[in-house]
């Protein structure tokens, strides 16, 4: 029942946007912008640049809303436009990320020493702090589910470069996680020694 009500409200929003109703556009933007901003910010570290991408993407959403055929998720359709806009921005600013080749990029790091106590927010912060090339490929592969071939096509790089960037991102994250785990152990030791 709740899904039907939500779908009906979504359909009304879409119809309003098709009529270029500013109230419907504002409501649509307010409904989806915070989640889509998070997507932009995962790819572009600077908050202002992420916001520019978001606004540009929503302009495209409003311009192309007649192309949504109610097949699949409307949010997924918006997400695809936002992600494509972020990737377009990254392609235009190619110097933001490093392209390197690594022959053995398929090696997996050992995660056995890492604590299970990591909060999702902490992990997202670590991902945000990765160098740009690592962050972009990690997001596309590990979070958004793109293959290395798709990433290579989207970013205009080789598949090996994509694999290399992912491998290095994972290694970098592993190092950060081990450091965080060590810091947590030190804090616990200090707390136990003061009691």
Fold of 120-194: Arc Repressor Mutant, subunit A (1.10.10)
pLDDT digits 0-9 by tens, 139-186: 999 888 899 999 988 888 899 999 999 999 999 888 887 877 776 556
Residues 44 and 90 sit within 8 Å (Cβ to Cβ): yes
Listed by start position, the domains of the chain span 2-96, 120-194
Alpha-carbon distance of 34 to 168, in angstroms, equals 29
Alpha-carbon distance of 178 to 167, in angstroms, equals 16
CATH for the stretch 2-96: 1.10.1740.10
pTM for the full model?
0.68
pLDDT digits 0-9 by tens, 29-78: 999 999 999 999 988 888 999 999 999 999 999 999 999 988 888 999 99
Residues 6+ apart with CB under 8 A from 70: 11, 14
């Amino acid at each position: 029942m709740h899904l039907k009500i939500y779908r009906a409200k979504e359909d009304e929003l879409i119809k309003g946007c098709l009529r270029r109703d500013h109230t419907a556009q504002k409501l649509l933007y307010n409904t989806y912008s915070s989640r889509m901003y998070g997507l932009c910010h995962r790819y572009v570290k600077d908050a202002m640049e992420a916001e520019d991408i978001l606004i540009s993407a929503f302009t495209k959403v409003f311009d192309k809303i007649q192309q949504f055929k109610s097949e699949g998720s409307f949010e997924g359709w918006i997400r695809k436009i936002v992600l494509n806009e972020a990737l377009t921005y990254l392609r235009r600013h190619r110097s933001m990320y490093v392209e390197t080749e690594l022959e053995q990029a398929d090696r997996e790091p050992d995660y056995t020493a890492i604590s299970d106590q990591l909060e999702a927010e902490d992990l997202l912060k670590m991902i945000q702090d990765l160098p740009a090339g690592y962050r972009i490929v990690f997001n596309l592969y590990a979070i958004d589910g793109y293959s290395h071939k798709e990433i290579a096509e989207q970013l205009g790089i080789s598949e090996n470069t994509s694999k290399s960037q992912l491998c290095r991102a994972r290694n970098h994250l592993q190092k950060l996680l081990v450091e965080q785990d060590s810091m947590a152990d030190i804090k616990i030791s200090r707390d136990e020694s003061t009691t």
